[in-house]
């Protein structure tokens, strides 16, 4: 179990680091002055993005727990991810929690983005399962022909 936790933790840290670097590059390409926010508080931003990575990707460990249903796993994953996002955005003063309307728009937007990502992954995995089933069915047919 420790190895599993470590794997998801490092997966989250890796994605958080990637997103941090990608965000810096995006800022440099679109508005170089915006990188000053990071330069003023580099440790805060690094910790914030690592927390985002762990909150979004590391919490995927919930899908490894067999004792709870898929719907509850999904709810836990979504709300922990959004909760971490809101805490980090508040801590880094991103202005996402300025008013109740802005807060709700961000929560709803986050849920929509997560849902779209989930649907894409579901469809990809469904296609993979169908391909695997076809291969297994073909192998079973070949075995049946060999035994006859």
User: Which pLDDT score, from 0 to 100, does residue 147 have?
Assistant: 66
CB 76 within 8 A of CB 62: yes
Residue 64's pLDDT band, with cuts at 50, 70 and 90, is: confident
Say whether pLDDT at 146 is over 70: no
CB 12 within 8 A of CB 57: yes
By percentage, how much of the chain surpasses pLDDT 70? 96
Dihedrals φ, ψ of 31, to 5°?
-155, 85
Residue 148's pLDDT band, with cuts at 50, 70 and 90, is: low
User: CA-based diameter of the chain, in Å?
Assistant: 75
Dihedrals φ, ψ of 34, to 5°?
-70, -15
Taking only the tens place, the pLDDT of each residue in 9-61 is 888 888 888 888 888 888 888 887 877 777 788 888 888 889 988 888 888 88
User: Which pLDDT score, from 0 to 100, does residue 15 have?
Assistant: 86
């Amino acid at each position: 179990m420790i190895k599993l936790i470590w794997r998801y933790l490092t997966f989250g840290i890796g994605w958080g680091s990637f997103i941090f670097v990608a965000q810096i590059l995006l800022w440099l390409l679109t508005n170089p002055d915006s990188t000053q926010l990071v330069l003023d508080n580099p440790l805060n931003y690094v910790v914030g993005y690592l927390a985002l990575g762990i909150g979004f990707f590391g919490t995927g460990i919930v899908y490894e727990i067999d004792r709870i249903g898929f719907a509850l796993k999904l709810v836990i994953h979504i709300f922990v991810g959004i909760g971490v996002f809101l805490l980090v955005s508040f801590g880094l003063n991103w202005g996402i929690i300025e008013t109740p309307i802005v807060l709700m728009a961000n929560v709803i937007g986050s849920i929509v983005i997560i849902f779209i990502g989930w649907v894409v992954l579901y469809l990809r995995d469904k296609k993979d399962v169908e391909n695997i089933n076809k291969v297994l069915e073909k192998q079973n047919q070949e075995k049946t022909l060999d035994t006859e």
